[in-house]
Chains A and B, each alone.
Chain A
C-alpha cells in the first residue's frame, strides 16, 4: 500500500527566509510520481510542482523546488524567499497507476505561516 508521511503539522517562518517542508513516502511500485499542492484559506487546492520517479533532475517551478532523494524515499518541498502569500496548508501526494487508473495518495499536510 502507498503511504505519504508529513511529520510537520505546523511551521512558522520569517518572511523572506527559505523553508523546507518534509515529505517521505512508501511504495513498492517502480514507477510513481510526487506532487505538492497548496491550499490557501479559500479552500481550493493549487498544484505547485511534480517529480517523476525516473526524473534525474530535481523539479523546479519558480520559487518552488523539490529535493528528491529516491534512496531515502523523500520528496521535500523547498520554497525560497518566502512571502506572506505563502501562508497555507501544503500537501504532498503520490501518484501511482493500477493498469492505467491513476490515483493520488495524500499526506496529512503542513500548515505554513509566514511571519512579517
Chain B
C-alpha cells in the first residue's frame, strides 16, 4: 500500500514563527503536492514538485516555500506564520507523467492524513 505520512496531525504556532511541515512517501513517486483545505474553498494547490530539487508554484504560493532534497520527502515552509495561514494542510504524491500534452493512464494522487495548523 502507498503510504504518505505527515509529521504532525495537529500543530499550534505563534504569529511570526517559522513553521516546517514535512511529508514523506514510500512508493518512489516522482510527483509531490502541498494543498491547503479551507471550509467552502475546497483544496487549493500551494506548490508541487515533479522531481528532486524541482518545484512549481500552484494557485496560492504566497507566504509559502518548499524544499525537495530527496525524492521521498517534500517540505512546506511558512517563513513567518500569520493567522490567515491557519488551515488544514494536505500532502499528496503520484507517479510521474508520460510527458506531452496528452494525458496517459491516470495516476491518482495519494494523500496523507493532513496537518491541522493553528496560528495564534
**C-alpha gap A100/B91 in the complex (Å):** 20
* Min CB–CB distance A22 → chain B (angstroms): 14
The number of residues on chain A lying at the interface, defined by a beta carbon within 8 Å of a beta carbon of chain B, is 34
Q: Does B56 contact A (CB under 8 A)?
A: yes
Give the secondary structure class of B's interface. Answer: loop
Residues of A contacting B33 in the complex (Cβ-Cβ under 8 angstroms): 104
**C-alpha gap A103/B35 in the complex (Å):** 11
The answer to whether A43 and B102 have CB atoms under 8 Å apart is no
The answer to whether B58 and A44 have CB atoms under 8 Å apart is no
The answer to whether A100 and B100 have CB atoms under 8 Å apart is yes
Q: Does A108 contact B (CB under 8 A)?
A: yes
Considering only CB atoms, which chain A residue lies closest to B59 in the complex?
Answer: A105
Give the secondary structure class of A's interface. Answer: strand
The answer to whether B97 and A97 have CB atoms under 8 Å apart is yes
Considering only CB atoms, which chain B residue lies closest to A47 in the complex?
Answer: B108
Residues of B contacting A29 in the complex (Cβ-Cβ under 8 angstroms): 101
The answer to whether B42 and A43 have CB atoms under 8 Å apart is no
* Partner pick for A52 among B44, B101, B103, CB 8 A cutoff: B103
The answer to whether B58 and A103 have CB atoms under 8 Å apart is yes
Considering only CB atoms, which chain A residue lies closest to B107 in the complex?
Answer: A102
Give 18 A-B pairs besides A100-B98, A100-B99, A102-B94 with Cβ atoms closer than 8 angstroms: A4-B42, A32-B103, A33-B103, A35-B106, A37-B111, A50-B108, A52-B103, A97-B101, A100-B96, A100-B97, A101-B48, A101-B97, A102-B107, A104-B33, A106-B42, A106-B43, A106-B44, A108-B41
Binding site for B on A (CB under 8 A): 4, 6, 9, 29, 31-33, 35, 37, 42-45, 47, 50, 52-53, 91, 93, 95-109
Binding site for A on B (CB under 8 A): 31, 33, 35, 40-45, 48, 50, 56, 58, 88, 90, 92, 94, 96-103, 106-114
Q: What would be 23 A-B contacts, judged by CB atoms less than 8 Å apart?
A: A4-B42, A9-B40, A31-B102, A43-B88, A44-B111, A44-B112, A45-B111, A47-B109, A52-B103, A91-B42, A91-B43, A97-B100, A99-B99, A99-B100, A99-B101, A100-B96, A100-B99, A101-B31, A101-B48, A101-B56, A102-B107, A108-B40, A108-B41
